[in-house]
Structure 1
Amino acid sequence: MNHPAPAVSRARRNALVKLGSLALAGTGVGLLGAPAIVRAAGDKVTFKYPLNPTFDLIYLAEDLGYFEGTNTRPNYIGRVSSPQIIPLTSIGEIDFGSRMVPLVISAVAAGGDIKVVAAGGKTLEEAPHMKYFVRKDSGISKPKDLEGKTIGFNSYGACAEFVTKTWLRQQGVDVNKVSFVVIPDDKAEQTLVSGNTDLAIIHAPFSGRADHAPELTRLWSDYDLDKGLGGMAPYSAHGKFIREHPEAVRDVVTAIAKAANWVNANPEEARKLVSKRINLQLEFVDRYAYVEDLVITEPPIQYYIDVLEREGKLAKGKVSTKDIYTNEFNPYAKAA
């Protein structure tokens, strides 16, 4: 049964306009070109999702057949730049998005209609979420060496920024003396090799390619920095899609939870599927590890609420963990 969307206040309308402006910058996906709200294709409900070269449970769930037997299917809308995924999800330009928790917190605080519905990747010592590389001839070996240098990372407002800045401060680094520049993960290695950055923070699967680059050396991973507390990369959904298609949300969460458990049990097979999908040489594909059953827990969310408040990006008490997530659509959470 469909429920009418709640009335949108003037303040919230302004917030959504702001989010929309952010979302539309730097991507070819625009409001005027968006598909109609009706998402039924025959007897199937489709959800709009980016088609990016990355290690992603939506793609793996489809490859593994976990959407079979459901009435739900992904509708890939083409590549969407990483910084735009959560803003676009928060205004309904795409229905699901997978990006880090602080981006979702910021979107909710700005009035975005978005909710984390499944946990995602997790950091292990042998399977970190992101790795830190420098050139072998850079002279950089410790955190303090980064003062006066340039760090390349995939976006502001996410794990690469906040985990790194938090750790650098803990190591006595003046973060104001470090420059940050946005470089997509699949371009970060070459940008570092060419000398345009001094350190590159690269996420899996592309971090594996940097590990094999003869000019580079790895200094740290996010596991070294915080033992993985900041490494959960969840899946979020647009609020209207959740309200209008709760069964489809349940189908998606169930499918990606199955895929996550399969990846954890079959990491090498998963690397082969990702290698084929994104056309990256197998030896260069770093593995991913996922939260068991994709059940969301509160510590990784509270970690980023605290970080955002400390960084002055979020008013203290403006959002709570309960505002950010729900396990309602995860059958494994109910069983637990």
Structure 2
Amino acid sequence: MKSKRLISMVVSIVLAALFFSGCGGEKQTSSKKSGELQVLKTWSRKDCTAAPIIVADKLGYFKEQGLKIQYTGDTQPAQRLPSVLNGNNDFGDAHPNNLAIATEGGAKVKGVTRSIVEPPDSVTDTHLQHMWWISNKNGSIKTLADINKYPGKVKVGANSRNSCVDFLSDILFVKNNISLDKIEWIQMPDIEQVLSLKKGLIQIAVVHPPFYKSIEESGIGNILTTSRPIAGENGGTYLYYFSDKFIKQHPDEVAKFVVAVKKAERYINKSIPDEKERAKVNKWVSDAIGVPVSANHYYADDGVIKDKDIQQWIDGSKTSGALPKNAKVKVSDIVTHEFDKYGNLGSKPDYVVKE
């Protein structure tokens, strides 16, 4: 019943977004000329997804492809995908389960390339992993096993529901024989979880970069686990997506975007061992989002989407109850391989998409 209510709610949001935008059969004209540059619109980024867009902008990678990014202001998480459907924004980024839930509810969007992934084992800096699960070192939960011993429910912070936090936490708790009935989810932004953990309002914070710095500076952080051991590379999988309508009408612009953003992501990965270069990237992101940054995410060098990884996220949504067990959404409903050649390592550093 809970699953049906959730799907109904998603359908309502999607349909409302379409209705109020009047986005019927009209041609989507969201990509406009700015001089010789074509504009792609996206919401203003104040979180851990900002780095590739900022770096591609700073280093002129979008301009190389004839693109210009236009920020449209703050958009609440629940309204981001509808804003892409109604043309207020042209692209977004999300985990596969977010796209699966929306698609099951009737949304017509497709992931076009991979973004965030977990770093390989050769990258030992845990700041580059997708998430940390952290308890207060002065509290009673020192290890994952202590969760079962805690009196009553354990309050766990989550920046949003039916997202990466659910997907990875479900796997984590099952692996450690922790009943999901033991967990009470408390929704709040990552930055607020730090203070809440300190005050005892939650027992476990689940945070992303760049907010690790705040945890470390608080002096209370006890790392229970990080995300890579939970699901390997797939634990961080993030996709850039466009509406089906935009892809059909503006395939060249999507291709240009993929080339530019993947070039920026490879640049960020290469900056990791270089202290000065890494500090430069961190400062650019910090200045843009207004939060101290000690690390960004790690990104897929090869942007080609792996269907088996996407299926794991769909299955995880069914496990969590975010999708009904009989949901019909398939991998091919939420991703396209049309742009694979633009996101892989075969693209030359100076490659420019020709219309």
Counterpart for residue 65 of structure 1: 60
- Residues 41-50 or 179-188, more deviating: 41-50
Identity %: 24
Assess if the C-alpha contact under 8 Å between 2:129 and 2:228 holds in 1.
Answer: yes
Q: Which residue of 1 aligns with 2:285?
A: 274
Q: Is the 8 A contact 1:133 1:216 kept in 2?
A: yes
C-alpha displacement of 1:209:
2.3
Choose from 83, 106, 118 the match for 1:123.
Answer: 118
**2:250 aligned with 1:245, yes or no?**
yes
Structure 1 segment 33-112 matched on structure 2, within 5 A: 37-39=28-30, 40-42=32-34, 43-55=36-48, 56=50, 57-112=52-107
Query: Paired residue for 2:351?
Result: none
Superposed displacement of residue 99, structure 1: 1.6
Does structure 2 retain, via aligned residues, the 8 Å contact 1:135–1:193? Answer: yes
Aligned residue in 2 for 1:227: 232
Give the secondary-structure state (helix, strand or coil) at the position aligned to 1:230. Answer: helix
- Deviation digits for residues 186-222 of structure 1 (CA, Å, limit 9, x no counterpart): 3221222222211110011112321332122222111
1:170 aligns with 2:161: no
Q: Secondary structure at the match of 1:228?
A: helix
1:1-336 aligned within 5 A:
17-19=12-14, 31=21, 37-39=28-30, 40-42=32-34, 43-55=36-48, 56=50, 57-124=52-119, 126=125, 127-146=128-147, 148-267=153-272, 268=278, 269-281=280-292, 284-312=293-321, 313-316=323-326, 318-330=328-340, 331-333=342-344, 335=346
Shift in CA distance, 87/303, structure 1 to aligned 2, threshold 3 Å? farther
* Higher RCO (C-alpha 8 Å, min separation 6): 2
Q: What is the CA-CA distance between 1:180 and the residue it aligns to?
A: 0.2
Structure 2, unmatched stretches of 5+, are 1-8, 273-277, 348-355
Q: Distance in 2 between matches of 1:164 and 1:90?
A: 29
Structure 2 CA distance for partners of 1:173 and 1:324, relative to 1, 3 Å? same
Q: Following TM superposition, by how much is the alpha carbon of 1:91 offset from its aligned partner in structure 2, in angstroms? A: 4.7
The separation in 2 between residues aligned to 1:310 and 1:220, in whole angstroms, is 21
The runs of 4+ residues in structure 1 deviating greater than 6 Å are none
Over aligned residue pairs, what C-alpha RMSD do you find?
2.7
Normalised TM-score (structure 2): 0.80
Post-superposition Cα deviations, 1:25-48, rounded to whole Å, max 9, x if no partner, equal: xxxxx859xxx9533134443222
Unmatched 5+ residue regions in structure 1? 1-13, 25-29
8 Å contact kept, 1:85–1:98: no
State how far apart, in whole Å, the 1-side matches of 2:345 and 2:208 are: 31
1:164-187 deviation line (CA, Å, top 9, x unaligned): 022202211111121001111232
Matched length? 313
| Native 8 Å contact 1:168 1:175 kept in 2 | yes
Alpha carbons of structure 1 residues 191 and 317: separation in structure 2 relative to 1, 3 Å? closer
Instruction: Give the residue type in structure 1 aligned to 2:313.
Output: Y
* Structure 1 residue matching 2:68: 3-state secondary structure: strand
The CA deviation at 1:145 is 3.1
Distance 1:20 1:183, change over 3 A: farther
